[in-house]
Amino acid sequence: MAAEVPPSDLEAAARIIRSGGLVAIPTETVYGLAANALDPQAVARIFAAKDRPFFDPLIVHLADVSWWPRVVAEFPPMARELAARFWPGPLTLILPKSTAIPDLVTSGMPTVGIRVPDHPLTRELLKRADLPLAAPSANPFGRLSPTTADHVRQQLAGRVDLILDGGPCRVGVESTILAIADGAATLLRPGGVPIEEIEAIIGAVNRPEISSTKQPAAPGMLDSHYAPRTKLRIVDSIPALSATTRAGLLLPSSVNDTPLSGYTAVEVLSQTGSLVEAAAHFFQALHRLDQAQLDVIHALPFPDQGLGRALNDRLRRAAHS
């Protein structure tokens, strides 16, 4: 659960947002690095703090669905249906942007990504600041996403005016991104809402081959992303190790009868094989492995269904060098 945060911190955070500063915010997915989405100078500070290239647009966070006219030009029936079912929650909708949204937020695109995050502290901050918040994940560009306030401190200390500590993120993997246009939905990033649940509401969703184009539809979907510093290899079975290798192992669930003794560090994401639990632990486990001075991290893939799709996507990008 969320750590206790004194109301004075929330007030300070709201003040920082209103004056153009940066606040790290807890969400149910990962921590975000937030600024006033309507202020181009504040938004520019996000890109600077993350060393993020300007071609990678930001998601805008709202206190609730009633804020849509502040950020998008239209909110079609399909978006309404999805918002009613999944907000607050880990679903980002890409829609035509309103003129109030600076081009910097959207990297010059005519669309903007919006969502209502499911975390009480951040929704309270949104209400107090009374401003939509542009927030990418609070990590340096391309690196592992932060799912605790400590991860943010380790990666962005000195580059953010305040970190709101809301405890570990409940979902642990970024939002699902869906573009809505001409009455159809297209999956741009698998994430915290499984695509099966979305299709149960609106029917078939376009799923373009999400991978290796130089300019993917969601620019954050670069081949190499969400990456630890340590080399990561996806393996189908647990490899035998040479005696001198310091290796780590990332397992979706516990394995029987397999000798793990050669491994310096082993992370089991869920004893029972729950994908929900595995997602919640995923980035924390990778952060720990990345700090264990290993030569290599071996990872077994997840079942390719539900949250397993989002996790396999993150693994593939973490493994790409």
Q: How many residues bind ligand TXA (CB under 6 A)?
A: 29
**How far is Cα of residue 264 from the mean position of the Cα atoms in its chain?**
28
Q: Strand 91-96 and strand 111-115: pairing?
A: antiparallel
Q: How far is the CB of 275 from Mg ion (least distance, A)?
A: 20
- 3-class DSSP state for residue 143? strand
Nearer to ligand TXA, 109 or 300 (CB): 109
DSSP code per residue over 296-319: EEEEPPPPSSTHHHHHHHHHHHHH
Q: How far apart are CA 151 and CA 79, in angstroms?
A: 33
**How far is Cα of residue 63 from the mean position of the Cα atoms in its chain?**
18
Q: Is the dihedral of CA 255, 261, 263, 268 positive or negative?
A: positive
Instruction: Determine, following the binding rule CB under 6 A, whether residue 227 of this chain makes contact with ligand TXA.
Output: no
Instruction: Determine, following the binding rule CB under 6 A, whether residue 57 of this chain makes contact with ligand TXA.
Output: yes
- 3-class DSSP state for residue 52? coil
Site string for ligand TXA, 118-137 (x = CB under 6 A): -----------------xxx
Nearer to ligand TXA, 176 or 230 (CB): 176
Q: How far apart are CA 56 and CA 91, in angstroms?
A: 18
Instruction: Determine, following the binding rule CB under 6 A, whether residue 58 of this chain makes contact with ligand TXA.
Output: yes
Nearer to ligand TXA, 57 or 194 (CB): 57
What angle do the packed helices 307-319 and 275-290 form, to 10 degrees? 20
Site string for ligand TXA, 146-175 (x = CB under 6 A): ----------------------------xx
Nearer to ligand TXA, 36 or 249 (CB): 36
Q: How far apart are CA 174 and CA 139, in angstroms?
A: 13
Instruction: Choose, by CB under 6 A, the member of 82, 125, 177, 202 that binds ligand TXA.
Output: 177
Q: How far apart are CA 89 and CA 178, in angstroms?
A: 13
Minimal CB distance residue for Mg ion = 137
Q: How far is the CB of 48 from ligand TXA (least distance, A)?
A: 15
Nearer to Mg ion, 123 or 314 (CB): 314
List of residues contacting ligand TXA (CB under 6 A): 27, 29-30, 32, 56-59, 90, 92, 94, 106, 109, 111-113, 117, 135-137, 174-175, 177, 188, 217-221
